[in-house]
Amino acid sequence: MTTYKGINGFAVQSVASDPSPLDEGQVWYNNATYAFKLAAVTTAGTWASGGNLNTARDGVGGFGTQTSALAFGGDTPPVTTATELYNGTSWTNNPTGLNTARLQGASSKSAPQTAGIFFGGYDGNNLTVTESWNGSTWTSVNSMSTSARRVLGGIGTQTAALAFAGYVGPATTAATESWNGTSWTNVNAMPFARMQLAGSGTQTAGLAFAGTTVDPSTFTASTESWNGTSWSNVPGGNINTQRSNLAGFGSQTSALAAGGLTSTSPTTGATELWNGTTWTSNPNNMATARNNLGGTGTQSLGLVFGAGSPGNATEEFTGPGSPVTRTITTS
């Protein structure tokens, strides 16, 4: 009789918990759950439930990774300063929160959990406020230089970020500002004004997509690319599901768009993947359809949180081509 050891030269390991990271084709026995398991590769991106936020809210900001993220601000209601840290399993309340309670600001999406910035937003008035995070506390730093705005886009890191578009009231804006770690500088504006959009990438290689132009019923599917100096429209780069108030993160060439508000539904769980040229609809949508949510991470390992019902739900995304655990059924 052929055995696994005879084929592979080694026996199946018996372990108390599933190994990490995974290698495709890896087999093991989990003696805590009494199951044989296999590391397979996903053919489509999948969503799984994560730990709930302690404070349910919408319009929440965030940055970090799927296993080490930060969530802050939002509307409970009222607007909150609450800041929480995610460890890949659960959220923990930070002893101190934002200096200015607000929702619908933008953040340095590529920043780690320990060092990022949060800018703009709304507390009953549009804001130019900028705050910097050092891993334990927020510090107020130089404000944005153009008009106060909310539902804007943001990408980059704590020392090299980009802010773009948004609602200044009573209109949208195309203004773009660059952050050097100390102050904001006006740079070339977007091709057209809009708000409630999403973005991904860095200060020198960014992406902006979706949103609305004049009012919440005027959606755009447009995608623009930023080269560190100017924006340009990506021909054929329209998102498949036009929407606003969505979550977006990743890089300029590998991004994810999830959730949002559409012209036909107040919320959607639709998920799309960007390959640098076009958007592709992922067959698996979020379990909780929602808009005005927070999100961070990469296309391969993403995280969304807040908004929807319940407003504290967290979901983790594993992109196509990533190893995932499958249970082997035995008889």
Model pLDDT, residue 30: 84
**Whole-number percent of the chain with pLDDT over 90:** 78
Q: Residue 83 pLDDT > 90, yes or no?
A: yes
Q: How many other C-beta atoms are found inside a 10 Å radius of the C-beta of residue 324?
A: 14
What average pLDDT does range 167-192 have in this prediction?
96
Mean pLDDT, residues 156-175: 96
Q: Which of 10-14, 188-192, 301-305 has the lowest mean pLDDT?
A: 10-14
pLDDT over 60 (residue 329): no
| Residue 134 DSSP label | -
pLDDT given at position 17: 83
Q: What is the pLDDT of residue 169?
A: 85
pLDDT of residue 7: 46
pLDDT digits (tens, 9 = 90+) for 238-284: 999 999 999 999 999 999 999 999 988 889 999 999 999 999 999 99
Mean pLDDT value across residues 179-192: 97
20: CB partners within 8 A, 6+ apart: none
What is the Cα–Cα distance from 162 to 176, expressed in whole angstroms? 7
The pLDDT of residue 331: 47
pLDDT at 326: 59
* pLDDT tens digits along 117-141: 999 999 999 999 999 999 999 999 9
Reported as a single tens digit per residue, the pLDDT across 39-82 is: 666 678 999 999 999 999 999 999 999 999 999 999 999 999 99
pLDDT at 136: 98
Q: Which residue has the higher pLDDT, 302 or 16?
A: 302
Sheet-wide strand order for 13-15: 13-15, 27-30, 35-41, 323-328
β strands within 169-297, DSSP E: 176-179, 184-187, 198-201, 206-209, 223-226, 231-233, 247-250, 255-258, 271-274, 279-281, 294-297
Average the pLDDT over each of 67-81, 181-195, 201-215, 312-326 and give the range with the smallest value: 312-326
Please check the confidence at residue 154 and state whether its pLDDT lies above 90.
Answer: yes
Q: In this predicted structure, what is the pLDDT of residue 13?
A: 83
Distance CA 103, CA 122 (A): 5
Residue 323 has pLDDT above 70, yes or no: no
Query: Would you state the structure tokens that stand for residue 212, as one six-digit string?
Result: 């609305």
Q: How many CB atoms lie within 10 A of CB 155?
A: 32
Tokens encoding 191: 């091709």
